Structure 1
């Protein structure tokens, strides 16, 4: 990075951070959104096409035909392959050109020109791995018990927000807002509106919590990087909300581009057997609408903040959790930029 000034490096770090960190797994869509037809999406400002084969297995490629750049998502699902609508060129799930129907002896066949994405399906969501040139192979992804243990039952809630994904992370890393923004909402009216806050380091991130107050309201939040960056919080429930104790939320904020994101929130309780059946019935018939109201309150506030809100902030003690997370993410972005060669760095547009 010797050929670039510190100002230029900082600009590229900021750009990378705005677009989203690489070498991570991100949820990109609910699983049900990809069925028979190819689906085009934008995530981390990268245009991507997804499709399923006859067995339901997913493939994900850069949404660009290597011939002349037409969108593959406009084409045909041929099962193992996807065909471009423009000239019928077929590619498999690895991005290899399998057939050029207009030219049976084309030298294009067998070449890999476009990017493919490792893909997994977890608890109703499609996850993609976004690697850089140095780390094209996916890292391991460890997720919390609420998404991996049979002791929990969850519902996935997802929404598009017209704000940068970092505003969504800031929002979750701010437990104090619950007692004000959500004061009239289900289960959010309890607890002190004034509290001391503390940060507790963990092996994979940190917990930000109210001192001396647990199991009253939105009292703590955890953020972890375990191959993907996720957040966890719990909200105590009264007995009339059914079995399962506290209500847990596992959240991801996936960048779409610099001014849009898709949030994923799994809402979970520790229930099995008949208690699971009761919880799922109560959620669908009584609780889900209330939870959407809370999410809408967050969305309205964040979408009405200016894009440059961080440049005109006056933070105080309750913001030290999100401030620490911002530094953590910025450090990760700087590490990714620092590993680029001088040539790659100078030309990087991200």
Structure 2
């Protein structure tokens, strides 16, 4: 019989493993909208193989990328609109994961059976979001995006990168305003301001703010983590007038696990502009600024992909890293909550519904 210390250690290990694989019960962006057209598209997210396709009305569907007959990848097959057909033997599966036709066999017992996992889908701000709920949270929470992506007062461009690093390192990087004054010191937008600062964390209605004390709107001076059905980060960086109307430009960032060693990173560049100023901003971005922004992202990617193996096990964190430690603690808390809720669900008395929404706790 295991001791309380052993059980506690096992619970900590399980929570850490869950965070590393990817927290559940959140919406994650899994692809830019432009990537999914007429043909089925296969992706791997949170170590799950998924097929995406659009029906005749343009609505995106998402299924486990596995034919229930022999396990072939459905993403290699055909888009039939409301269903996909497996290339191997033509088995047809609809958007709910139900087999609708097995053309090679008359009266096949597979027909009419839900054999494949389906995912709730939302398409917002030029990206396709899927709900990755665990067994106890199959019904999705509302997906609320920050104002910069939800309001028509803002214009945005989406940059997507595939980085060979666990998604936690991407979150750490965005939650670290101080690196802008060093890693991006030759950037057109992050060359100014002090290279020494005191940092502080404060709560917001949606999560937490990590910011420099005594310096605002000079460089990358603050970042907010929000938890509104998904995990997102936002920040603002001032722009010189020569870079067009709209004042500071914003970044909304999300990191989606591909597997334990790879992530897909979504960075929306935003600006609050309307009318002719919106047109001017969008022209300037495409013709002058987009390449500069990709240079900054390449600096981040190079640093993160070049970190020492198991870097987190050998860190010496200091005051500038308090935002990172708070977010890591939050994610570990969420993992522990999810494991506890899942265990309670699996051991619930028959007929009692315990699938409540994810517990919200103070950051």
Q: Shorter-chain-normalised TM-score: which range?
A: over 0.9
- Equivalent residue for 1:232, pick from 220, 231, 234: 234
Shift of 1:341: 2.9
Show the counterpart of 2:98.
96
- Equivalent residue for 2:129, pick from 86, 105, 127: 127
Shift of 1:56: 1.2
Instruction: Provide the rounded CA distance (Å) in 1 between the counterparts of 2:309 and 2:50.
Output: 25
Show the counterpart of 1:282.
284
Q: What are the Cα deviations for residues 108-132 of structure 1, in whole angstroms up to 9, with x where unaligned?
A: 1111122100111111111111111
Superposition map of 1:163-182 within 5 A: 163-182=165-184
Show the counterpart of 1:220.
222
Question: Is 1:322 matched with 2:335?
Answer: no
Shift of 1:73: 0.7
Instruction: Provide the rounded CA distance (Å) in 2 between the counterparts of 1:141 and 1:296.
Output: 29
Q: What stretches of structure 1 move > 4 A for 4+ residues in a row? A: 342-345
- Length, aligned pairs only: 344
Show the counterpart of 1:193.
195
Task: Determine if contact 1:37/1:77 at 8 Å carries over to the other structure.
Answer: yes
Task: Determine if contact 1:47/1:62 at 8 Å carries over to the other structure.
Answer: yes
Show the counterpart of 2:76.
74
Question: Is 1:255 matched with 2:257?
Answer: yes
Task: Determine if contact 2:136/2:345 at 8 Å carries over to the other structure.
Answer: no
CA gap of 1:14–1:307, structure 2 versus 1, over 3 A, is: farther
Task: Determine if contact 1:163/1:307 at 8 Å carries over to the other structure.
Answer: no
Instruction: Provide the rounded CA distance (Å) in 2 between the counterparts of 1:116 and 1:306.
Output: 38
Q: What are the Cα deviations for residues 234-257 of structure 1, in whole angstroms up to 9, with x where unaligned?
A: 000111111000100000000000
CA gap of 1:62–1:195, structure 2 versus 1, over 3 A, is: same
Show the counterpart of 1:38.
40
Shift of 1:217: 0.3
CA gap of 1:307–1:95, structure 2 versus 1, over 3 A, is: farther
Shift of 1:307: 4.0
Show the counterpart of 1:203.
205
Show the counterpart of 1:15.
17
Show the counterpart of 2:343.
341
Instruction: Provide the rounded CA distance (Å) in 1 between the counterparts of 2:28 and 2:308.
Output: 25
Q: What are the Cα deviations for residues 281-306 of structure 1, in whole angstroms up to 9, with x where unaligned?
A: 11011111111111000000000113
Show the counterpart of 1:348.
none
Show the counterpart of 2:358.
none
Show the counterpart of 2:61.
59
Shift of 1:19: 1.0
CA gap of 1:320–1:291, structure 2 versus 1, over 3 A, is: same
Instruction: Provide the rounded CA distance (Å) in 2 between the counterparts of 1:208 and 1:36.
Output: 42
Shift of 1:195: 0.6
Shift of 1:103: 1.7
Instruction: Provide the rounded CA distance (Å) in 2 between the counterparts of 1:6 and 1:68.
Output: 41
SS of match in other structure, 2:182: helix
Task: Determine if contact 1:259/1:307 at 8 Å carries over to the other structure.
Answer: no
5+ residue gaps, structure 1: 346-350
Instruction: Provide the rounded CA distance (Å) in 2 between the counterparts of 1:84 and 1:9.
Output: 40
